[in-house]
A and B are shown apart, each in its own frame.
Chain A
Amino acid sequence: MAKKSWISALTLVTSAGLVLTACGGGNDNGGEASAPASSPAGSQASSPASGGTKDLGKADLTFMFRGGPDEQAAYKKTVDRFEKDHPGVKVKIITTAADQYATKLKAAITGNSVPDVFYYDPGDLMAYVNGGVLLKLTDYVQNNADIDINKIWKKGVDLYRYDGQTVGQGDIWGLPKDLGPFAMGYNKTMFEKAGIPLPDKDKPYTWDEFIKTAQQLTLDTNGDGKLDQWGTGLNVNWTLQSLVWSNGADWIDSTHKKVTIDDPKFAEALQFFADMQNKYKVTPSISEAQTLDTYQRWMQGQIGFFPVGPWDMSTYEKLPFEYDLIPYPAGSTGKTATWLGSLGIGVSSKTKYPEAAAALTMYLTGSEEGMKMLSDAKVQMPNLTDMAQTWAADTSTKPANKEEFLQIVNDYGRPIPGILTYNAEWYNLFFTDIQPVLDGKITAAEYVKQEQPKMQKLLDKAIEQEEKSKSK
Chain B
Amino acid sequence: MTTKSKLYRKEAYWGYLFIAPPVIGFLVFALFPAVYSIYGSFTDWDGLGQMSFIGLDNFKEIFQDELFHKAMYNTVFMMLAIPVGIVLALLLALGLNRRIPGTTAFRAIYYIPVISSIAAISIMWNLAYNGDFGLVNQFLDLFGIKGPNWLQNVHTVKPAIMIMMVWKGLGYTMLLYLAALQSVPKDYYEAAELDGANAFSRFRHITWPMVKPVTFFVVVTNIIGGSQLFIEINIMTSTGGPEYSSASVVFYVWQKAFGNLQMGYASAMSVILGLFIFIVTLVQFKLDRSSEVNE
Contact = CB atoms under 8 A, between A and B. Distances in A.
A131 B238 contact: no
Which of A12, A24, A107, A131 has the most CB atoms of chain B within a 10 A radius of its CB?
Answer: A12
Nearest to B32: A21
A17 B274 contact: yes
Contact of B47 (A13, A106, A433): A106
A106 B261 contact: yes
B29 A465 contact: no
B258 A9 contact: no
A6 B50 contact: no
Interface in A287-313: 287, 290-292
B163 interface: no
Interface stretch (B81-89, B126-134, B176-184, B188-196): B126-134
Interface string B278-295: 100110111011000000
B243 to A, nearest CB: 5
B47 A109 contact: yes
B269 interface: no
17 contacts: A9-B278, A12-B220, A12-B224, A13-B281, A16-B277, A17-B34, A23-B231, A25-B29, A103-B254, A127-B261, A130-B48, A132-B49, A432-B243, A433-B243, A468-B52, A469-B48, A469-B50
Given A5-B282, A8-B285, A290-B149, A19 B228 contact: yes
B154 to A, nearest CB: 8
Contacts of A5: 282, 285-286, 288-289
B42 to A, nearest CB: 15
Given A103-B259, A106-B261, A291 B130 contact: yes
Contacts of A8: 285
A5 B285 CA distance: 6
B97 interface: no
A425 B282 CA distance: 36
Contacts of A17: 30, 34, 274
A273 to B, nearest CB: 17
Contacts of B285: 5-6, 8-9
Q: Do most interface residues of chain A lie in helix, strand or loop, or is the interface mixed?
A: helix
B282 A469 contact: no
B55 interface: no
B50 A107 contact: no
B131 A287 contact: yes
A13 B49 CA distance: 29
A9 B283 CA distance: 9
B261 A435 contact: no
A19 B29 CA distance: 10
Interface in A438-472: 454, 465, 468-469, 472
B274 A110 contact: no
Contacts of A465: 44, 46, 261-262
In order of increasing CB-CB distance, the 10 nearest A-B pairs are: A131-B48, A291-B132, A5-B285, A110-B47, A291-B131, A106-B258, A103-B258, A9-B281, A16-B224, A290-B152
B266 to A, nearest CB: 10
B90 interface: no
B22 to A, nearest CB: 10
B59 interface: no
B29 A18 contact: yes
Contacts of B239: 432
Interface of B: 26, 29-31, 33-34, 44, 46-50, 52, 66, 130-133, 149, 152, 154, 220-221, 224-225, 228, 230-231, 238-240, 242-244, 250, 254, 257-263, 274, 277-278, 281-282, 284-286, 288-289
Given A5-B285, A106-B261, A291 B48 contact: no
Nearest to A291: B132
A133 interface: yes
Contacts of B263: 110
A132 B49 CA distance: 8
Nearest to A124: B261
Contacts of A19: 228
A338 B289 CA distance: 65
B46 A469 contact: yes
Given A102-B259, A110-B263, A18 B26 contact: yes
Given A8-B285, A287-B149, A435 B242 contact: yes
A468 B34 contact: no
A191 interface: no
A292 B34 CA distance: 44
B49 A292 contact: no
B259 to A, nearest CB: 6
A135 to B, nearest CB: 15
B220 to A, nearest CB: 6
Nearest to A105: B258
A18 to B, nearest CB: 5
B224 to A, nearest CB: 4
Most chain A CB within 10 A, of B29, B46, B277, is at B46
Given A5-B288, A14-B34, 7 more contacts: A2-B289, A5-B282, A5-B286, A106-B47, A130-B48, A291-B133, A432-B239
